Amino acid sequence: MQEWSAEAPSRLTVFEKKMLFIRMLRQVGQSPACGCWTPVLPVRFLGISPRQIPADANFHSASFSDTDHPRVLITGGLGQLGVGLANLLRKRFGKDNVILSDIRKPPDHVFHSGPFIYSDILDYKNLREIVVNNRITWLFHYSALLSAIGEANVSLARAVNITGLHNILDVAAEHNLRLFVPSTIGAFGPTSPRNPTPDLCIQRPRTIYGVSKVHAELMGETMQSRFFMMPQSMANSSATWKPAQGCP
């Protein structure tokens, strides 16, 4: 599936995106000497941090003991990035602590590589049961209909990308989860400034996928300000990451 929409100012191949994403994920659990972290993936990310995180916490420098690993759920896990993310997190936190989920049947090698469960993000009751029964503490939300499929079925894309997001936001708030929701270059439109495109600029995407990602970004900001009230030192945990220089 093609993740980046046709109106995107520039593109990378799926392979290049995966390699960049893997480079970013390898920094999980590492603490750079400078105390900061520079994003390497030229797409925009939205992360919603829970109230349970201390003010000096950082996803990339957190230290966990063998008995204090997070319990991770990945929705839409059979998409472009879910399986790779699961493999990396399982190496870091243990195989049984990272659960892949999707509404599709997994291939054999994925099914046997670690925990996999059926999860429909439009079924809020089921989503809550999964979080409670598996003691989930971190949630990576990748479930979405991308540009091409979304344009062919706008009503379904609206349900999955927007209603599904609201279910995720609600369950994360209810159970104090650490939540990561990726945005995309598709959130920009043909009228957005380019080379480089700033985070704060005109966003007028022309696909339902892009529109839903703009909605996700705004919902993240709203939930942070209304419910979580995170200190300024954690602003990057709930804001969109600035793209690499020269990338939209």
pLDDT over threshold 60, residue 114: yes
Is-above-0.85 flag for pTM?
no
Query: How confident is the model at residue 79, as a pLDDT?
Result: 87
Angle between helices 164-174 and 124-133 (to 10 degrees): 40
DSSP-derived secondary structure for 164-209 = HHHHHHHHHHHTT-EEEEE--GGGS-TTS--SSPPSSS----SSHH
Residue in the structure block whose two tokens are 């900001």: 221
pLDDT digits (tens, 9 = 90+) for 205-228: 999 999 999 999 999 888 877 765
| Residue that wins the pLDDT comparison between 160 and 26 | 160
pLDDT digits (tens, 9 = 90+) for 172-195: 999 999 999 999 888 998 899 888
Query: How confident is the model at residue 37, as a pLDDT?
Result: 34
Residue 85 — φ and ψ, nearest 5°? -65, -45
pLDDT digits (tens, 9 = 90+) for 231-247: 433 333 333 333 333 33
Averaged pLDDT for residues 75-84: 93
| Residue that wins the pLDDT comparison between 220 and 12 | 220
Domains annotated for the chain, with CATH where assigned, are 69-236 (3.40.50.720)
Locate 242 and state its tokens: 């600035």
The Cα angle at residue 201 between residues 158 and 82, in degrees rounded to 5: 45
Q: What percentage of residues in the chain have a pLDDT greater than 90?
A: 50
| Residue that wins the pLDDT comparison between 117 and 247 | 117
- Helix and strand element counts for the chain (H, E): 8, 6
Helix (H, G, I), strand (E, B) or coil at 244: coil
The answer to whether residues 247 and 42 touch, using CB atoms and an 8 Å cutoff, is yes
Judged on CB neighbours under 10 Å (0-12, 13-18, 19+), 133 is exposed
For residue 176, the Cα-to-chain-centroid distance in whole angstroms is 16
Averaged pLDDT for residues 13-34: 49
pLDDT digits (tens, 9 = 90+) for 32-42: 333 333 333 33
Q: How far apart are CA 135 and CA 132, in angstroms?
A: 5
Helix (H, G, I), strand (E, B) or coil at 40: coil
Q: Choose, from 118, 124, 142, 209, the residue flagged as catalytic.
A: 209
The answer to whether residues 130 and 75 touch, using CB atoms and an 8 Å cutoff, is no
| Residue that wins the pLDDT comparison between 31 and 142 | 142
Q: How far apart are CA 103 and CA 78, in angstroms?
A: 9
Say whether 209 is catalytic: yes
Query: How confident is the model at residue 26, as a pLDDT?
Result: 52
